[in-house]
Amino acid sequence: MSDGQAPNIDVAALVATIRQEVARRRAHAGNGAAAPDPALRTRDVVGTSSAIEGGLEAGEQLARVGTTVPDWPERSGLKRRLSRLAARVVMRLVVFITKEQREFNVVMVRLLREIVGGLRELDAGLRQTQASLALLEDAYRDDMVVLDERIAARERPVDERVAALERWASDSTERLAADLARTGAEAARSTVRADELDRQLLRLRTGLALQERRLDVFLEEARRRLPAPLDQDQLRVLADGAAAAFEGFYAAFEDRFRGDRDEIKERLRVYLPIIVEVGAGAVVDLGCGRGELLELLRDAGIAARGVDTNRRMLEHCRARGLDVVEADGLAHLRSLPDASLAAVVGVHLIEHVEFATLLQLFDESLRVLRPGGVAIFETPNPANLLVGSCNFYQDPTHRHPIPSPLAQYVAEARGLCRVRILPLHPYPDAFNVHGSELGERVSALFYGPQDYAVIGYRA
């Protein structure tokens, strides 16, 4: 610049470069592009800062154009003085033309200075960030090494434990397989043994039936050949023999068709709260059979006595330690004093007696109950068509079904109060047809309660 000329700098190109750089950075921030490498960012900032600093120096020189007169040291004497004088005259003449350019130059220089300052601060921040990242990377690597060591240290005992469990599972599986094989062989032998016992039982039953038939034939032939009619003692002996044969048959019939003992006990459990509610006192179970209700009452701490005529069943009850007597139910009630019982129970009893005996049974029950005592009689429910048309007659000792309205009327007519009907033992819900009125009605007729109990109290 010794010639006093303005440097050859394209300011428009410099401003365009700055604008492109700013636009590029805004695009990176706006579209979520991955941040460039910190070292690259630092080099970009340094390069841009150097370019702007060069432009700043040129701009400062441009800003001085038109404000000072060149010295022209290469000229001397009058020629130099005349040149400077001419320059002053020209500068004064063109000052109104170069004023806006000078002001623009000043503004640009100030802007460039601010940009350079910001870039320098950014450069310093980037360098500090790089140093921090380097420290973090070192710490991360150290932590990962420590973490890997800890994980490895914990994995070793876990692997050992897993291996031990696998060995134990393998050994257990082998032992279980061996046990199952032995159990299967034992089950097969038991099945063979059970089949053999079943065949023996069938042979015994067949032999017993043949013996009973021969005995009947013998007794009939003996009766015809005797010169005189049999006296009462002889007739009683014959009757007892026939009764004993029937009792054995009926006990086996009960075991086959009545149901499992535990199942019957669960069904009879419904009567426990009713009997407990009436308070302390003796209970009589008429037709106690195998003694399921007596056992429930004993376990509940309630004094109870069973009455039945089947000696086979009474033997089963006594073997279980139950209090039973051999007697007719109605006769036993007649032998008891007035108001001496808390409850009279007859489970599947009243369908075995004639209607006149049924009336007497209710009369005697009312007499022996103390005030507040309860009478409970359970019987098959003929409102269930399967029961009324078929199942009821499966027991050869049943006389006729008793509809629940009739049983309730008889109980009320013979003096019991608060009489109600308790439906019992419906078929499982899987038998019912749901979803329509007709289906519900059919289900009620065929799969409703199979039994009911008539329950009444003495006032």
pLDDT digits over 297-313, tens only? Answer: 999 999 999 999 888 88
Give yes or no for a contact between 286 and 332, defined as CB atoms under 8 angstroms apart: yes
By the 8 A CB rule, do 454 and 404 touch? yes
Confidence of residue 3 (pLDDT cuts 50, 70, 90): very low
In a domain, 283, yes or no: yes
Identify whether 203 is part of a domain: no
Task: Judge whether residue 208 has pLDDT over 50.
Answer: yes
The conformation of residue 227, written as its DSSP 8-state character, comes to S
Query: Which tokens hold the place of 389?
Result: 């048309």
CB atoms within 10 A of CB 336: 15
CA 312 to chain centre: 48
Question: Across the chain, which distance is largest between two alpha carbons, in Å?
Answer: 197
* Residue 347 included in any domain: yes
- Asked whether residue 210 carries a pLDDT value surpassing 70, the answer given is no
Q: What is the pLDDT of residue 2?
A: 43
What is the domain extent for residue 106? 11-145
* CA–CA separation, 320 and 304 (whole Å): 14
Q: Do 306 and 434 sit in the same domain of this protein?
A: yes
35 compared with 324, residue with greater pLDDT:
324
Q: Which residue has the higher pLDDT, 214 or 275?
A: 275
Asked if residue 177 belongs to a domain, the reply is no
Q: Do residues 140 and 283 share a domain?
A: no
Tell me which of 148 and 74 has the higher pLDDT.
Answer: 148
Residue 455 has pLDDT above 90, yes or no: yes
Q: Who wins on pLDDT, 117 or 34?
A: 117
Do 308 and 338 contact (CB within 8 A), yes or no?
no
Radius of gyration in angstroms for the set of CA atoms belonging to the chain, rounded to a whole number: 59
Under the banding of pLDDT at 50, 70 and 90, the label for residue 203 is: low
149-165 pLDDT, tens digit each: 888 888 788 878 888 88
- Percent with pLDDT over 70 in the chain: 69
Mean pLDDT calculated for residue range 143-152: 83
CATH number of domain containing 418: 3.40.50.150
If pLDDT is split at 50, 70 and 90, which confidence band does 184 have?
confident
- Domain end call among 95, 116, 145: 145
Report which of residues 250 and 94 the model is more confident about. 94
Span 437-447, pLDDT tens digits: 898 898 889 99
Q: Name, in order, each residue with C-beta under 8 angstroms of 9's C-beta and a sequence gap of 6 or more.
A: 55, 58, 59, 62
Compute the average pLDDT of residues 251-273. Answer: 80
Give the predicted TM-score (pTM) of the model.
Answer: 0.51
47 near 119, Cβ under 8 Å? Answer: no
Average of pLDDT values for 106-127?
80
Q: State how far the Cα of 3 lies from the Cα of 43, in Å rounded to an integer.
A: 36
Q: How far apart are CA 233 and CA 75, in angstroms?
A: 180
292 with 417, same domain: the answer is yes
Q: Are residues 264 and 394 in the same domain?
A: yes
Local confidence band at 6 (pLDDT 50, 70, 90 cut-offs) = very low
CA pair distance 59, 112, nearest whole angstrom: 9
Q: In Å, how far are 343, 392, 398 from 306, measured between CA atoms? A: 12, 24, 21
Which of 19-23, 59-63, 238-242, 388-392 has the lowest average pLDDT? 238-242
Chain position carrying tokens 């006389």: 399
What was the pLDDT predicted at 33? 47
In this prediction, residues 411-432 reach a mean pLDDT of 93
pLDDT in tens, 314-336: 998 999 999 999 999 999 999 99
Boundary of a domain, candidates 110, 145, 180 = 145
CA-to-CA distance for 127 and 35, rounded, in angstroms?
Answer: 16
Tokens 């109990």 sit on residue: 453
The mean per-residue pLDDT over the stretch 376-384 comes to 97
**What are the residues facing 452 on neighbouring strands?**
379, 423
- Domain membership of residue 296 (yes or no) is yes
Mean pLDDT: which of 94-108, 156-170, 383-397, 398-412 is highest? 398-412
Is the pLDDT reported for residue 393 higher than 70?
yes
Classify residue 387 as exposed, middle or buried by CB count within 10 Å of its CB (0-12, 13-18, 19+). Answer: buried
Please tell me whether residues 308 and 449 are part of one structural domain.
yes
Mean pLDDT (the chain, rounded): 80
- Residue 238 confidence (pLDDT) above 60: no
Cα-based distances in Å from 223 to 123, 214, 352: 137, 14, 31
Residue 185 included in any domain: no
Helix, strand, or coil here: 300? coil
**Res. 167 pLDDT band, cuts 50 70 90:** confident
Residue 433 pLDDT: 83
Residue 406 reports pLDDT greater than 70: yes
At 50-66, the pLDDT tens digits run 655 665 666 556 555 55
If residue 443 lies in a helix (H) or strand (E), which one and from where to where? helix 437-447
Arithmetic mean of pLDDT, 414-437: 91
d(CA 135, CA 129): 10
* Of the listed ranges 25-34, 150-159, 435-444, 446-455, the one predicted with least confidence: 25-34
Where a domain ends, among 145, 177, 199?
145
- Cβ neighbors of 453 (< 8 A, separation 6 or more) are 271, 376, 377, 378, 379, 421, 422, 424
- How far apart, in whole angstroms, are the C-alpha atoms of residue 56 and residue 279? 115
pLDDT confidence of residue 151: 83
Rounded-to-integer distance, Cα 306 and Cα 346, Å: 10
Q: Cβ distance 351 to 399 under 8 Å?
A: yes
Contact present, 406 and 435 (Cβ < 8 Å): no
- Residue 340 lies inside a defined structural domain of this protein: yes
Count the Cβ atoms, other than its own, within 10 Å of residue 449. Answer: 19
Q: What is the pLDDT of residue 230?
A: 53
Whether residues 266 and 136 share a domain: the answer is no
Contacts of 443 (CB under 8 A, 6+ apart): 431, 432, 433, 434
Which pair of structure tokens corresponds to residue 272?
Answer: 């426990």
Tally of domains within the chain: 2
- Residue 291 Ramachandran class (φ > 0 left, ψ -120 to 50 alpha, else beta): left
Same-domain status, 139 and 283? no
pLDDT at 341: 97
Percent of the chain whose pLDDT exceeds 90: 34
Q: What is the pLDDT at residue 223?
A: 66
- Confirm whether 251 is domain-assigned: no
pLDDT greater at residue 71 or residue 141: 141
Res. 370: pLDDT tops 70: yes
Long-range contacts of 24-31 (CB under 8 A, 24+ apart): none
Q: Are 459 and 397 in contact (CB under 8 A)?
A: no
443 and 294 share one domain: yes
3-state SS assignment for residue 457: strand
Dihedral (Cα; 353, 357, 361, 364), 10-degree rounding: -160
